[in-house]
Amino acid sequence: MYIIACSLIAICVIFLLLIDTIKPTRYPPGPTWVPIVGNFLEFRKKLSRLNYHHLVYEEFSERFGNVVGLKMGRNLVVAVFGADAVKEVLTREEFDGRPDGFFFRLRTFGKRLGIVFSDGQFWQKQRKFSLQHLRSFGFGRREMEEKIVDETKDLIALFRKQCSEPIWMHTAFDVSVLNVLWAMMAGERFNVNDERLLKLLQIIHDAFRLTDMSGGMLNQLPFLRFVAPDVCGYNKIVSILTRMWEFLEETIDQHKRTLCGSHARDLIDAFLQKMNVKNDNDASFTDDQLMSLCLDLFMAGSETTSNTLGYSVIYMLQYPEVQKRVQLEMDEIVGRNRWPTLQDRLNLKYTEAVLMEIQRRANIPPLGIAHRTVRSAELFGYRIPEGTMVLTSLYSVHMDADFWRDPLAFRPERFLDPDGNLTFNEKYFAPFGYGKRRCLGESLAKANYFLFFTALSHNFYLEDAPDSPRPQFDGYDGVTISPKPFKAKLVPRTD
């Protein structure tokens, strides 16, 4: 009987393992997967060779086409490539969900909270509330520009004090960029040299490099946290989240102690007032949601824009002729007696083209933010099951050789027509995505990017720093691409 029982168990196990290798009906083409881990091992092997997650997906695309079906651990993952497929996903309601899983819930207390990785009515309500109140505190208005200008002046003043020696530039903009959003969120700003915040921002950079947009090993094989918590990154992620939660909890508690029932100083106050409204049956406004919302905004507000500005310095160092032309345009349009403002953007056409080319070429968010099918969907003849994670390769859009012709070249003129006016096809230039899930902070990011870049270029010549780490185009891999440490010599412009 014992032998028979063991045989039956073995047969059942084999049967279940075989079932685990069967692909859903009309699932997109992709590599054959194996039981339990799916394509995880093959993916990791390619990653060790290519070093970047988006390049691994790109290699799969070269073999299987613009819609690739994978299974990563227990997760179905579909990656799409090219302008047509990416826009199709980003503009259709069936793909408007956000991924669910252990990694995505870990950062929000085991629940689906915040606004980055939530969806449905909950997301709509929280997004509407956040935008409405951020606008009341200056978001997208003149007050926002004034806040950015103040931060640029403080940062430039700091650079002037430090410029006798080469300056570390890969994280030079972190605090200043965050301050603009933090003033609207929490009603305060940080000193540019705040050691505690600098350490916290470094932790955030580390968090973005620990995994990729699919949630990585921890999301695909969550049981690994029990058997190999260090290898799968679980211990490091929990440590990072704990530091972030402690920081945000301290800020929120301070707001609770000084909250005024009739006047909101910032977004946190407005949220707390909403929580305190009697007879309000909206259960989505909770302490956990406030923490998760702050975490989302804090991390998003300090990472992508800072990375983009870091890369803008790298490109100006590598292409000094472009830097010189930017400065000549500013001297002609703005003059030397004042700093550029957002109103100058319409006339600083070459400068705008340079900023756009940096975004296209650097590809800071190479896979955007992951989506999820909220119901089964048809895509180019394939069936994408409900609950599938969908990754959109913005990298493939920005590096499309058929459209851009020489995508590897850094050529700002591609965004100018023969008359020198800005021109671009939004279908092939989408650093902020498309559709309903388009980046919430786009207007802030664009304003930050323009004003910090022009303030720096208006006040300094950027030169390579001798005997210092040289800037590299190849950055750190992760959820975003971030520049590796480098220094630059900032020479004050006195002419």
User: In angstroms, rounded to a whole number, what is the distance separating the alpha carbons of residues 111 and 289?
Assistant: 9
Percent of the chain residues past pLDDT 70, beyond the cut: 95
Percent of the chain residues past pLDDT 90, beyond the cut: 71
pLDDT digits (tens, 9 = 90+) for 60-77: 999 999 999 999 988 999
- List phi, psi (to 5°) of 167: -115, 140
Please answer whether residues 387 and 31 qualify as being in contact, where contact means their C-beta atoms are separated by less than 8 angstroms: no
* Mean pLDDT for the stretch of residues 371-375: 96
Q: Is the pLDDT of residue 293 over 60?
A: yes
Q: Is the pLDDT of residue 14 over 90?
A: no
Q: Is the pLDDT of residue 40 over 50?
A: yes
439 is in an annotated binding site: yes
Q: What is the pLDDT of residue 15?
A: 45
- Lowest-confidence region among 190-194, 255-259, 291-295, 299-303: 299-303
More confident residue, 13 or 310: 310
- Lowest-confidence region among 77-86, 105-114, 292-301: 292-301
pLDDT digits (tens, 9 = 90+) for 295-338: 998 887 778 899 999 999 999 999 999 999 999 999 999 999 99
pLDDT band at residue 12 under the 50/70/90 scheme: low
Based on its alpha-carbon atoms, the radius of gyration of the chain, rounded to whole angstroms, reads 24
Domain boundaries, given as residue ranges, for the chain: 1-492
Q: What is the pLDDT of residue 1?
A: 63
Give the number of other Cβ atoms within 10 Å of residue 90's Cβ: 22
The CATH class for the domain spanning 1-492 reads mainly alpha
pLDDT band at residue 20 under the 50/70/90 scheme: low
* Mean pLDDT for the stretch of residues 415-419: 95
| DSSP for 61-127, written as a single string | HHHH-SEEEEEETTEEEEEE-HHHHHHHHHT-GGGBB---SHHHHHTTTTS--SSSS--HHHHHHHH
Expressed in percent and rounded to 5, the helix, strand and coil fractions of the chain are: 55, 10, 35
pLDDT digits (tens, 9 = 90+) for 466-494: 888 788 899 999 999 999 999 999 999 98
CB-count exposure of residue 196 (10 Å: 0-12, 13-18, 19+): exposed
Q: What is the pLDDT of residue 232?
A: 85
pLDDT digits (tens, 9 = 90+) for 115-131: 999 999 999 999 999 99
Q: What is the pLDDT of residue 10?
A: 55
Q: Which residues of 265-284 are buried (b: 16+ CB within 10 A; e: fewer)?
A: ebbbbbbbbbeeeeeeeeee
- Could you tell me the two tokens for 111? 């629940």
Q: Is the pLDDT of residue 111 over 90?
A: yes
More confident residue, 206 or 177: 177
* Mean pLDDT for the stretch of residues 397-412: 97
* Mean pLDDT for the stretch of residues 378-398: 97
Q: Is the pLDDT of residue 282 over 90?
A: no
CB-count exposure of residue 85 (10 Å: 0-12, 13-18, 19+): buried
Q: Is the pLDDT of residue 4 over 70?
A: no
Q: Is the pLDDT of residue 392 over 70?
A: yes
Give the number of other Cβ atoms within 10 Å of residue 102's Cβ: 17
pLDDT digits (tens, 9 = 90+) for 332-369: 999 999 999 999 999 999 999 999 999 999 999 999 99
Q: Is the pLDDT of residue 17 over 60?
A: no
